[in-house]
Amino acid sequence: MATSVPQSSSPLASLDQKLALAKRCSHEGVAAGAKAAIVASIATAIPTMASVRMLPWARANLNYTAQALIITTVAGAAYFIVADKTVLATTRKNSFKHVPNMKP
């Protein structure tokens, strides 16, 4: 009986470890995505604002809503791309740690 108790609790411990690992992977993805979104929004805002000030076509056709839409679209795309790649890379790295006879 003593040997069956640790076996029944080990799947729960394993599940807790997997959940903690998944939470850490997703947190790393969110942090990396937020950093990428900030960089992308700055990198997009500067040329967008400059083109509205200097180019007659942009001045005539890009109102404030269009400028905000351009910047937020690029920032959102950067967030989701980087967050997804970070989560996948982190989970791949962690999955190799748990497979026997495999090198990371």
Q: Are 49 and 67 in contact (CB under 8 A)?
A: yes
Residue 1 has pLDDT above 90, yes or no: no
Please give the C-alpha separations between residue 78 and each of 23, 25, 50, 65, 82, in angstroms, as whole numbers: 21, 18, 21, 20, 6
d(CA 82, CA 53): 31
Residue ranges per structural domain of the chain? 30-97
At residue 93, the pLDDT reads: 86
Residue 102 has pLDDT above 80, yes or no: no
| pLDDT 10s digits, 3-44 | 444 444 566 668 888 888 889 989 999 999 999 999 999 999
d(CA 78, CA 61): 25
pTM (two decimals) = 0.74
| pLDDT 10s digits, 40-89 | 999 999 999 999 999 999 999 999 999 999 999 999 999 999 999 999 99
Residue predicted with more confidence, 102 or 53: 53
Residues 6+ apart with CB under 8 A from 102: 96
Q: Are 81 and 35 in contact (CB under 8 A)?
A: no
